[in-house]
Amino acid sequence: MADHPTDPSSEPMPAEPWAARTTMDVLEVAGVDAAAYLQGQLSQDVAGLAVGGWAHALLLEPQGKMCAWMRVHRAAADAFDLVVDAGFGELVEQRLRRFWLRTKAELTVRPGVPALAVRNWPVGQTAPDPTVGSNVEATPADRLLLAPVDWPRHRGFDVIGAGAVAPDGVRVIEGDVGAAALLLARVEAGVPAMGSEIGPDTIPAAAGVVEASVSFTKGCYTGQELVARVDSRGNRTPNRLVRLAGEGTAPEPGTQLSVDGTERAVVTSAVTDVSAKEATDAVPHVGAWLGLGYLHRSVETPAELRTSANTSATAVAIERSDVTSR
């Protein structure tokens, strides 16, 4: 996905199921020690994950800051797929190999794997099996993964692999327009992304991903102390991720927003919303922009913010929906 497209064209996002092409990095961990090693490194209870199951997990640095937010798929009893935003697979590999000594498993990184992100899939309708109809036994590099996506307002799934095709009747939005539609869906859902909302200094609770990604009943894992300490204090962090909405041109990531002349928020993602037909709680300004950003804990929502460079331009901060999946 393009990091920060801000002009998706004048075409609104479809209300019916649609898809956009993107790429993801996939790491494969396989071997007799795969489950035990990942259990000690990831925040999720991957050892208890059923074969074929998916879960979100955090990979943390020893001090508890974020290395990556990922999806974990148990392909077999001793084999796992780790799916992370494109461009971050090497970072995950380096972090995992830091404590790899004498681990009886193989770690393989496949960067830039093509994927088809299907969104607005009907609730209750089963996603099609992407392997049905294949007459050729796929090699590991050619496997298709079907990853569920539970974005609020834009639920669906990702078909990950070079042979991904859209289900019957699903329109594929191509190119930059598709990338912008996917960004708009992510922002509307309040879902953070690596490189935008999640970086090396991110506290997991501030990004709002702890509930979906952390098991508090499993054993120890690297970096858990900070997660547990912040959780015991009510997950109150110096800043928190919120949704933003404003009029005019979408601001660039990094734009500071102020309250009464004091900088209190920073934009991390923003996109022009040409699909809004009427103002709602999620889209308070019609024909405007939507975004995500970090808001200082002293500011309650909804809050009116102004850009530091243009005090006449306003934005509104809104609490995100709970993130259940990415």
User: What is the per-residue pLDDT for 320?
Assistant: 78
List domains and CATH numbers for the chain.
18-189 (3.30.70.1400)
Q: Is the peptide bond before 114 cis (omega within 30 degrees of 0)?
A: no
* Cα–Cα separations (whole angstroms), residue 208 to 9, 134, 162, 197, 199: 30, 39, 32, 10, 14
User: What is the per-residue pLDDT for 141?
Assistant: 58
pTM for this one? Answer: 0.88
pLDDT tens series, the chain, 326 aa: 334 444 444 455 778 999 999 999 999 999 999 999 999 999 999 999 999 999 999 999 999 889 999 999 999 999 999 999 999 999 999 999 999 999 999 999 999 999 999 999 998 888 887 755 443 444 555 689 999 999 988 999 999 999 888 888 899 999 999 999 999 999 999 999 999 999 999 999 999 999 999 999 998 999 999 888 888 877 789 999 999 998 878 889 999 999 888 999 999 999 987 565 554 554 454 458 899 999 999 999 888 898 866 545 578 888 875 444 44
3 state DSSP class of 232: helix
Question: Position 183: which residue type?
Answer: L
Six-digit token string for 92: 């995950």
Q: Given phi > 0 = left and psi -120 to 50 = alpha, else beta, which region is 223?
A: left
- HSE-CB at 106 with a 13 A cutoff on CA atoms is 5
User: What is the per-residue pLDDT for 280?
Assistant: 52
Position of tokens 């995950």? 92
User: What is the per-residue pLDDT for 324?
Assistant: 44
Closest CA to 193 of 277, 313, 93, 70: 70
